[in-house]
């Protein structure tokens, strides 16, 4: 059962997947003075070590709350991330650019934001943080600024709290225009331990990152670009 | 696993709760020539006989598909419909008008529409039907036409199918401005058996409708207004 939260500092909900972007987003929201409630959705993703990572990050950042929700999208949606087709491996950066990858999950960010909105309204939070990024993931339509603005507009039309004038919902995507290297430098400056995060779409049974999926490749490049040692245990090195 | 559906007539997704409005909406979509896929979400509602009703209606209307999804909103949201507070009983119509009732579920229609959108994109459907209605439920912010228009806009920004120009999503709420009596007359004209539907927010253990919650009161009034015999087994009569 969710109880309305009362505290002197403002509440925020952060979508926390366990990867670099959402962890950085949570660290940034904490740094900005919000009482942060993490929301982690187990939507049937094949890379389940992500969920354990989210728990570790929530503890590390001493979040005000961490909510888990199960929603098996495999019943309604198709995606490589849901096991419907193979996860692409060893794709060069050029192949990744400019087209929507098979790891796209239909309407995923619309679903995740709507769940974050429900939690935010229930606990009296006006601010929702999402680690969306257009630089590395230019292919995902639901990471674009016009999509996020449209969701914010929707949130303020479709909720009691907004319609009754009790709050105005804001969707924050502070990493939207940062490169992965810039995101990592920002997180390090906020004291975030990236050894707790997991990016791999297809980890081994032992929990090692494959090193070859799009997400591992972007992660490796990010640490190199940031000039920060990569703490990730990769299976391919 | 969801398979892309191929058929000569267009596909539609209908949110099917098991109540009068969603059943009428499904019957109407079938009548309009769509291959209809029902989507029923078990979101932890206290009135669980609704879910069985949805199955009966899907069979009765011979839908092309019926998808069930479990999503326990009690982990993140508060509402009388989720058991967080009592279901109001015996409220006169004046008390129901003009204010958002405690049965409001934070961001429910945003969540339901986003799930319908995910299913629609996965099966290649462009049309989503929702039994939203402003006449009897003027209090719900996420039943208003401006909310539905904003969702349609969002859907066309945040999905691969729309961004790649393969479809333009449309959100249909054909019952939006009808009274409950008009809705029932429409459904009867489409051959719908309302004995299969359930409206009660707080049914008895035997599955009888309480007859006293807002939803039962609106249902009784609707059948009277339509001049159609009410097939509902009420506990209070």
* pLDDT at residue A104, rounded to an integer: 82
Predicted confidence (pLDDT) at residue A1 exceeds the cutoff of 60: no
pLDDT in tens, A175-197: 999 999 999 999 999 999 999 99
- Within-domain flag for B213: no
- Within-domain flag for B211: no
pLDDT in tens, B98-126: 677 777 889 999 999 999 999 999 999 99
Which pTM value belongs to this model? 0.91
Taking an 8 Å cut-off on Cβ atoms, the answer to whether A157 and B147 are in contact is: yes
In percent, how much of chain B has pLDDT > 70?
93
- How much is the ipTM here? 0.89
Taking all residues of chain B, what is their mean pLDDT, rounded to a whole number? Answer: 89
Taking an 8 Å cut-off on Cβ atoms, the answer to whether B77 and A108 are in contact is: no
Judging contacts by C-beta atoms under 8 Å, the chain B residues touching residue A159 are 106-107, 110, 141-142
- Within-domain flag for A236: no
Taking an 8 Å cut-off on Cβ atoms, the answer to whether A118 and B100 are in contact is: no
Taking an 8 Å cut-off on Cβ atoms, the answer to whether B77 and A122 are in contact is: yes
- Within-domain flag for B221: no
pLDDT in tens, B163-221: 999 999 999 999 999 999 999 999 999 999 999 999 888 888 888 899 998 889 999 99
To the nearest whole Å, the CA of A237 is away from the closest chain B CA by 34
Predicted confidence (pLDDT) at residue B155 exceeds the cutoff of 80: yes
Taking an 8 Å cut-off on Cβ atoms, the answer to whether B70 and A70 are in contact is: yes
Mean of pLDDT values over B132-150:
86
**CATH code of residue A96:** 3.40.50.620
Judging contacts by C-beta atoms under 8 Å, the chain B residues touching residue A167 are none
* pLDDT at residue B223, rounded to an integer: 96
Domain of residue A121 covers: 11-226
Top residue of B45, B85, B109, B118 to mutate, by most chain A CBs within 10 Å, is B118
Predicted confidence (pLDDT) at residue A171 exceeds the cutoff of 60: yes
Judging contacts by C-beta atoms under 8 Å, the chain A residues touching residue B78 are 1-2, 4, 122
- Within-domain flag for A151: yes
- Within-domain flag for A6: no
Judging contacts by C-beta atoms under 8 Å, the chain A residues touching residue B99 are none
* pLDDT at residue B63, rounded to an integer: 98
- Within-domain flag for B210: no
* pLDDT at residue B1, rounded to an integer: 45
Taking an 8 Å cut-off on Cβ atoms, the answer to whether B115 and A111 are in contact is: yes
* Closest residue in chain B to residue A41, using alpha carbons only: B71
* pLDDT at residue A80, rounded to an integer: 76
Taking an 8 Å cut-off on Cβ atoms, the answer to whether B76 and A2 are in contact is: yes
* pLDDT at residue A84, rounded to an integer: 74
Give the CB-side neighbour count of residue B203, counting CA atoms within 13 A: 22
Judging contacts by C-beta atoms under 8 Å, the chain B residues touching residue A74 are 1-2
- Within-domain flag for A234: no
Predicted confidence (pLDDT) at residue B49 exceeds the cutoff of 90: no
To the nearest whole Å, the CA of A224 is away from the closest chain B CA by 31
Q: How many domains does chain B have?
A: 1
pLDDT in tens, A5-22: 455 789 999 999 999 999
């Amino acid at each position: 059962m969710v109880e309305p939260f009362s505290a002197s500092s403002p509440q925020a909900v952060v979508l926390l997947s366990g990867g670099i972007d959402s962890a950085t987003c949570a660290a940034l929201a904490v740094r900005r003075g919000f009482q942060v409630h993490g929301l982690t959705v187990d939507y049937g993703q094949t890379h389940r070590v992500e969920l354990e990572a989210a728990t570790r990050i929530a503890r590390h950042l001493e979040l005000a709350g961490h909510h888990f929700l199960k929603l098996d999208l495999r019943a309604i949606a198709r995606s490589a991330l849901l096991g419907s087709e193979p996860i692409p491996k060893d794709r060069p950066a050029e192949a990744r650019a400019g087209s929507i990858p098979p790891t796209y999950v239909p309407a995923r960010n619309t679903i995740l934001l709507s769940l974050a909105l429900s939690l935010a309204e229930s606990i009296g939070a006006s601010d929702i943080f999402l680690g969306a990024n257009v630089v590395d993931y230019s292919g995902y339509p639901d990471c674009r600024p016009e999509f996020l603005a449209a969701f914010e507009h929707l949130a303020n039309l479709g909720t009691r709290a907004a319609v009754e004038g009790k709050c105005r919902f804001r969707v924050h995507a502070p990493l939207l225009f940062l490169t992965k290297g810039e995101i990592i430098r920002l997180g390090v400056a906020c004291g975030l331990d990236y050894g707790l995060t997991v990016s791999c779409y297809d980890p081994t049974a032992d929990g090692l990152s494959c090193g070859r999926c799009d997400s591992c490749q972007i992660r490796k490049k990010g640490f190199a670009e940031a000039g920060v040692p990569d703490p990730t245990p990769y299976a391919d090195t």
